Amino acid sequence: MPADTAVAGLKQKSLLMKKTIGLDRKDTMASQKEIGVGIAGVGTIGTGVVKKLSRDTIFEREANLKLKLERIVDKRAERNVFGCPFSTDFDSIINDPKIDIVVELMGGYDPSYEFIKSALEKGKTVVTANKAVIDRYGKELDELAIKNKTYLFFEASVGGGIPIISAIEIGMIGNSTDSLIGILNGTTNYILTRMSEGSTYEAALKEAQAEGFAEANPAFDVQGKDAAQKLAILASLNFDCKVSSEQVHTEGITGITREDIAFAAELGYEVKLLAIARRYKDQLELRVHPTMISKSHPLAAINRNINAIYLSGDAHNMLSGEGAGRKPTAGAVMSDIKNAAKALQKEYSPNKHFGENVFKIRKAKEINSEFYLNFSGSDEPGTLRELAGVLAEEKINISQVRQIAKKRGDYVPIVVMTDLTNQATIESAIKKITETGKRLRFNSAIRVGLNESEETTQIFFAEQTKEMIRETLGPIDIENYNGDILVADLKSGEITKLCEKFALGKIGIWKNKEGKIRSFIKVSNHPNYPKGIYMSTYSKEEVKEKGKRTIDEKIPGAHRIELPKNEDPIQGAFASYKDPIPLVLHK
């Protein structure tokens, strides 16, 4: 290629690039509109925002808007090091006519709440990273912003660099999300990760503090309160309502030991501090507590100071990233500042965050879950019998028990995994053991699994079993799936009754490779059983003759079916089944 042709080509490409980003306009700088920004609070996050504001030129070119830092206020005069107007008087930002966007980064309730309120009343657009204020006063401030025809932005209040709020409000607006399950606190996740690697709680906490992942006083984080505030905000936005952290059942990680985490690993679990919000028609479930989750779950792989939120409903999505720290949080604040600047160039349109839905909050003690229980038992005959007797009195079924040979003085560790029960029942059993048990000492209790069995599940069955099902469950809604195949949405308790009636044991859950089929054979303590579709192989006469049977014997009353990948699993299962009483669960 001739040299002059190559040069001409490069010039043409350069011109095209300039047009793309707007640099071909000679009057670009002259026509730029300035947006005045004032920052209240220049600690770690505030300093990060100031630096980003001073370096950001891309936004100026793209939006043709110049963000100008007009003023900084901070109660500590020694922070006047940024080379722009500085004051310790917070009203100086609110009353400055050159400031369009007020950025609140002070934290806490006082004076942040009154400051934000005054700014909105003056018609200023407010950007904040203050989860405490949004948790407690979010709806009031939201309504105040609309009343004064301005905006309230708070992306950085939850998840640091994870754009979870915009994802819920904008990115996933087309999906109905029924549950949010998240690791929302980097301090506790870092500690639990290091404990899984062999550290003690105390050593892991000191390391987190040295790395800057934990405060000097870590109580708010390790007690679960930080995660509870964040969960309340996300639940409010997702379910179009307003709930507060005071309504969230909250437990921390201070009672978790290295031994608990080691036992969990042996059983195929990771221990995480989970924040869980679920909707059940007119009820909400809101809770934060340590949970043993299967190592196969996406959240189990979230380690160190990383946060993640798993959303389930019409679709299943997980967002993860750094949940705290100067750079990720300052980045989220900058995103809000830029979105606010763009919004101010358009005709005002209300941006309502919190809705009017009202839900009854489910009591956490009444929510069913499997539990891990850790006891110390005296090394003598009858100890296990005493433990089993107390649990039986409380109608707590044991799925498995392990007595570890390693002694702690005169005691040996005993680990119990229960079937579905609730916290109130577990607490009653622990109280009895503590008050009357001479051989046993209680150490810890942790919920196991994500309690998906609380949700309704579709069960498919043959036409000829309809009367038997109605006899067992009473009046339920039954629809036709295809020909003589029927379908109904049932809760776990109803499914358990059917499993017992059809001689199938108690409910457990498995998925096939495509993640579509779930069996209803209890295999939670038999990890080697193959996955797939299981159905009853008993007729009515055999059910009467054999009575209730369980998987623990040899999978009696069950039959596994292999299906081609592209075949409708329900239709295929029934087509290949010969017995008159098939049942299939499908999620």
Give the pLDDT confidence of 260-274 residue by residue, as tens digits: 999 999 988 999 999
pLDDT at 455: 52
For domain 13-157, give the CATH number.
3.40.50.720
| Nearest Cα residue to 275 out of 183, 378, 177, 172 | 183
**Structure token digits, residue 302:** 């979230």
Tokens (6 digits) for 50:
């100031």
Question: Could you tell me if 103 and 35 are in contact, meaning their C-beta atoms sit under 8 angstroms apart?
Answer: no
CA 131, 133, 136: angle at the middle one, nearest 5? Answer: 105
Of 139, 230, 338, 501, the catalytic one is 230
pLDDT digits (tens, 9 = 90+) for 148-159: 999 999 999 999
Q: Is domain 364-452 given the CATH code 3.30.830.10 in the classification?
A: no
Task: Quote the crossing angle between the two packed helices 112-121 and 131-147, to the nearest 10°.
Answer: 20
Question: Which one-letter DSSP state was computed for residue 39?
Answer: E
pLDDT digits (tens, 9 = 90+) for 443-468: 999 999 886 544 556 677 777 778 87
Written as six digits, the tokens of 169 are 């409000």
Task: Please tell me the CATH superfamily of domain 164-324, with its number.
Answer: Dihydrodipicolinate Reductase; domain 2 (3.30.360.10)
* Mean pLDDT taken over the chain: 82
Which is nearest to 388 in space by CA: 401, 405, 370, 369? 401
Can you say whether the dihedral through the CA atoms of 95, 99, 100, 104 is positive or negative? negative
pLDDT score at 101: 98
DSSP state of 408: B
Domain boundaries, the chain: 13-157, 164-324, 364-452, 456-586
Question: How much is the average pLDDT of 406-424?
Answer: 85
Residue 48 has pLDDT above 80, yes or no: yes
- pLDDT tops 80 at residue 165: yes
Q: What is the pLDDT of residue 533?
A: 42
Query: What does the pLDDT read at residue 499?
Result: 60
pLDDT bucket at 419, cuts 50 / 70 / 90: confident
Local confidence band at 32 (pLDDT 50, 70, 90 cut-offs): confident
Q: What is the pLDDT of residues 172-186, one digit of tens each?
A: 888 889 999 999 999
What backbone torsions phi and psi does residue 273 show, to the nearest 5 degrees? -85, 105
pLDDT, one tens digit per residue, over 185-194 is 999 999 999 9
Residue 371 CB neighbours (<10 A): 23
Per-residue pLDDT at 398? 87
Average of per-residue pLDDT across 404-422: 83
Q: Is 225 a catalytic residue?
A: no
Whether cis (ω within 30° of 0) applies to the bond prior to 85 is no
Tell me: the pLDDT tens digits for 306-359? Answer: 999 999 887 889 999 998 888 999 999 999 999 999 999 999 999 999 999 999
Report which residue type is found at 586.
Answer: H
CA distance 444 to 414: 11
| pLDDT of 12 above 70 | no
User: For 118-135, what is each residue's pLDDT tens digit?
Assistant: 999 999 999 999 999 999
Q: Which two tokens stand for residue 508?
A: 């457990």
> What pLDDT score was predicted for residue 426?
96
